[in-house]
Amino acid sequence: MLFTSKFSSVLGLLCLTYAPEIFSRPLLPRQSTVTLQVLNDSVDTKLGCTAAQISTLQSALSDASSVAAVAARTLSGVALGGTNPEAVATFLGITGSELADQTSTRITSVGTEYGGSLGQITDLIAGNSDTTLRFYCPAASTTAQEGNPCDPGDEASTANLAEGGGAINKIALCDQFFVGDTLAADTSNYNADKAAGKLTSFRNPLSPGIVSQHSVPLLGGDLSLVLEDEAEDVADCAALPDSEKADNAENWALIAFLAQVDPSRFS
Ligand SMILES: *[C@@H]1O[C@H](CO)[C@@H](O)[C@H](O)[C@H]1NC(C)=O
């Protein structure tokens, strides 16, 4: 395979663009299992993913699952210990049982779901249900009318069955998803910025966003758990009022990244 796993795609999977829509359905009951599916391009060449793209997605899902496992362990330990380490204070502003609950929803359950197998489908709509989550890859030439929700520079775009007008739980993988940086590059950027004292203004890992935090099935079927995109730059995320930090998708992507690359900030 020419494609290698891209860590920024990984963080992308843990974050992203979200257009809030009017809520018009009752909340779904908490779901235990999400069926992950990817639309291949054997029939639908406008929206389907190539074999190489599917391979990249598969690696990214598996890496996202591992990253989430590390973050879940770290944050659960913090919550249980009743401490408030610097990274958590800076990027989440919550402690104790609130941190435990949110970690379970935003990190543990997402990591578990991403660890499931990825089936292939040839029709984006047929066989759809409230517990299926479908990935697809709009081609650059596919128009909005033809179903491409991506704007240039987007990493991904989420739509939910539980939202007004939503018919499918789906995540479009956009151009930036496939050109992300590697974990090694993100880590070395981080270490250089840290050495320069930029603990709250390091370069964003290249595909931050949290797709997962905008996907209702991954959050247990509850639309009220979907987060906002209030801030994206690290400095802006750190500067949010404490009461808003844990409501911003990117802050969860950053905390997962930090748990991976700099455990010292959690002690
Ligand atoms: C696409 O998915 C279908 C259904 O799972 C499968 O039969 C087919 O082999 C896949 N095509 C490619 C090119 O992977």
Closest to 53 (Cα-Cα) out of 188, 182, 179: 179
Question: Could you give the strand order of the β-sheet that contains 118-121, starting from the edge strand earlier in sequence?
Answer: 118-121, 35-39, 132-136, 170-173, 156-159
**CA 212 vs CA 15, 101, 209: distances in Å:** 6, 16, 9
Q: According to CATH, what is the number of the domain 35-265?
A: 3.40.390.10
What spatial distance separates the first Cα and last Cα of the chain, rounded to whole Å?
A: 39
Q: Can you tell me the distance from the alpha carbon of 123 to that of 40, in angstroms, rounded to the nearest whole number?
A: 8
- Ligand 1 centre to CA of 15 (Å) is 28
What residues line ligand 1, using a CB cutoff of 6 Å?
Answer: 40, 42, 120-122
- Ligand 1 centre to CA of 222 (Å) is 32
From 40, 44, 132, 134, the mutation candidate for ligand 1 (largest count of ligand atoms within 8 A of CB) is: 40
Residue 32 pLDDT > 90? no
- Ligand 1 centre to CA of 23 (Å) is 35
Q: Which two tokens stand for residue 166?
A: 């939503």
Break the chain into its structural domains and give their ranges. 35-265
Confidence of residue 25 (pLDDT cuts 50, 70, 90): very low
Percent of the chain scored above 90 by pLDDT?
63
- Ligand 1 centre to CA of 255 (Å) is 37
From 117, 122, 134, 136, the mutation candidate for ligand 1 (largest count of ligand atoms within 8 A of CB) is: 122
- Ligand 1 centre to CA of 119 (Å) is 9
Instruction: Return the residue whose CA atom lies nearest to atom 9 of ligand 1.
Output: 42
- Ligand 1 centre to CA of 177 (Å) is 22
pLDDT given at position 20 = 33
Largest distance between two CA atoms of the chain = 53
Give the DSSP per-residue string, 106-119. Answer: IIIHHHHHHTS-EE
Instruction: Return the residue whose CA atom lies nearest to atom 13 of ligand 1.
Output: 42
Measured from the Cα of 40, ligand 1's closest atom is 1
Q: Which residues contact 165 (CB under 8 A, 6 or more apart)?
A: 21, 24
Per-residue pLDDT tens digits for 82-140: 999 999 999 999 999 999 999 999 999 888 999 999 999 999 999 999 999 999 999 99
Residue 68 pLDDT > 80? yes
Entry pTM: 0.85
